[in-house]
Amino acid sequence: MKKIVYASLLFAGISGLFGLCYYLSFRNALLHYNRQAVEQNTQLLQELLESSGENERLLQQMLSDQAEEAIAAAAAQDTLRATASYFLETYYVQSKTKEREQLAVPGFMIGIDRKELGAYIEGYMETMPVNEFLQGLVSYEIVSFSPSQVVLRKTYDEGKVENQFYLCQKDDLVVVYYSDLRTVYEYTEILCSSLPEDVQEAVSHGIYVKDAQELYSMLEGYTS
C-alpha cells in the first residue's frame, strides 16, 4: 500500500514538474511571439509613416507645380498681343496741351506684361535719350494696360531745362556735354592750361551754358 502511495506521489511530482516546464516554455514562447509581433507592428507603422510622408511630399510638389503652371498661364493671358492697340499721349506742361496718337506696337512690347513694361519705362527714364532730356521729359507712365490695348503718357516741362550745355575739363581739354552730363556734344581743341587762371578754375568746376549761341560765344572767347 505504501509503495502505491509513493508511486502516486512520485508520478504526481513528475507530472507537476513537466507541467511547470511546459508552462514556462509556453510563456516564453508567447512572450517571444508578442515581442516579434510588436516589433513587426512598429516596423510596419514606421514604413506607413515614411510612405505617408513621401506621398505628402509628392502631393505638395504636384500642387506646387500645378500652381506655378497656373500662374504662368495667367501671366501669359496678361501679356500684350501683337494685334493690340497702342496709344501714346503727350502732355506739355508749359502750354497745357495734350496730344494723342495711335502707333504700331513696338516689337519689344509684344508678349510682355504690365510689370515688365513698367521696368522698361523706369530704365528709359534713367537713361533717356538726350533729345528727350532737352525737351524736358519729366515723367513717362502707363495710363492703362490690357492684352488688347495699352496707353502710355509722356509729360514734358521745358521750363525744367534751364541750360542745354555743360563745359568741363578732361585731360587738359575743354569738352562740351549736353546738360544731362553724360552725352558729349563736342570735343574741342582748347587747352585749359592756355586759358586765364579764373577761366581755368571755372572750367575745372564745370560751367552750365544756356544755349548754342551762348556756347559758341564762350568758345570763341577762349580761342581769341
Is there a single domain that holds both residue 90 and residue 151?
Answer: yes
Confidence of residue 193 (pLDDT cuts 50, 70, 90): very high
Half-sphere exposure of 224 (CA within 13 A, CB side): 6
Q: What average pLDDT is seen over the chain?
A: 82
Sheet of 173-178, strands arranged across: 184-191, 173-178, 165-170, 207-209
* CA distance to 56, 57, 71, 75, 125, per residue, from 66 (Å): 15, 14, 9, 14, 38
Is there a single domain that holds both residue 22 and residue 58?
Answer: yes
- Written as nine digits, the cell of 212 is 548754342
Cα 206–Cα 208–Cα 209 angle in degrees, nearest 5: 135
Is there a single domain that holds both residue 188 and residue 120?
Answer: no
Quote the CA–CA distance of 139 and 92 in Å, as a whole number: 11
pLDDT at 154 over 90: yes
Confidence of residue 214 (pLDDT cuts 50, 70, 90): very high
Q: What is the mean pLDDT of residues 116-130?
A: 95
Choose one of 113, 144, 160: the last residue of a domain: 160
Spatial contact of 122 and 57, defined as CB atoms under 8 Å apart:
no
Write the DSSP symbol of residue 183: S
User: Cell 592750361 appears where?
Assistant: 193
Is there a single domain that holds both residue 104 and residue 149?
Answer: yes
Q: What is the mean pLDDT of residues 187-213?
A: 94
- H or E element, residue 41: helix 2-77
Query: What do you get for the CA distance between the two ends of the chain, in Å?
Result: 161
Is there a single domain that holds both residue 144 and residue 170?
Answer: no
Gyration radius of the chain over CA positions: 46
Confidence of residue 114 (pLDDT cuts 50, 70, 90): very high
32-52: per-residue pLDDT in tens?
A: 655 666 566 667 667 766 666
pLDDT at 175 over 50: yes
Is there a single domain that holds both residue 15 and residue 29?
Answer: yes
Domain that holds residue 39: 1-77
Choose one of 12, 44, 77: the last residue of a domain: 77
Is there a single domain that holds both residue 123 and residue 143?
Answer: yes
Confidence of residue 3 (pLDDT cuts 50, 70, 90): low
Q: What is the mean pLDDT of residues 202-214?
A: 95
Is there a single domain that holds both residue 4 and residue 71?
Answer: yes
pLDDT at 91 over 70: yes
- Written as nine digits, the cell of 60 is 505638395
Is there a single domain that holds both residue 89 and residue 144?
Answer: yes
pLDDT at 26 over 80: no
CA 14 to chain centre: 89
Is there a single domain that holds both residue 152 and residue 171?
Answer: no
Confidence of residue 61 (pLDDT cuts 50, 70, 90): confident
Burial category of 114 from C-beta neighbours within 10 Å (exposed 0-12, middle 13-18, buried 19 and up): middle
Domains held by the chain: number: 3
129-153: per-residue pLDDT in tens?
A: 999 999 999 999 999 999 999 999 9
Quote the CA–CA distance of 93 and 56 in Å, as a whole number: 61
Q: What is the pLDDT of residue 74?
A: 46
Is there a single domain that holds both residue 20 and residue 72?
Answer: yes
Helix and strand numbers (H, E) in the chain are 5, 8
Quote the CA–CA distance of 202 and 185 in Å, as a whole number: 19
Quote the CA–CA distance of 133 and 124 in Å, as a whole number: 11
Choose one of 26, 49, 77: the last residue of a domain: 77
Is there a single domain that holds both residue 4 and residue 54?
Answer: yes
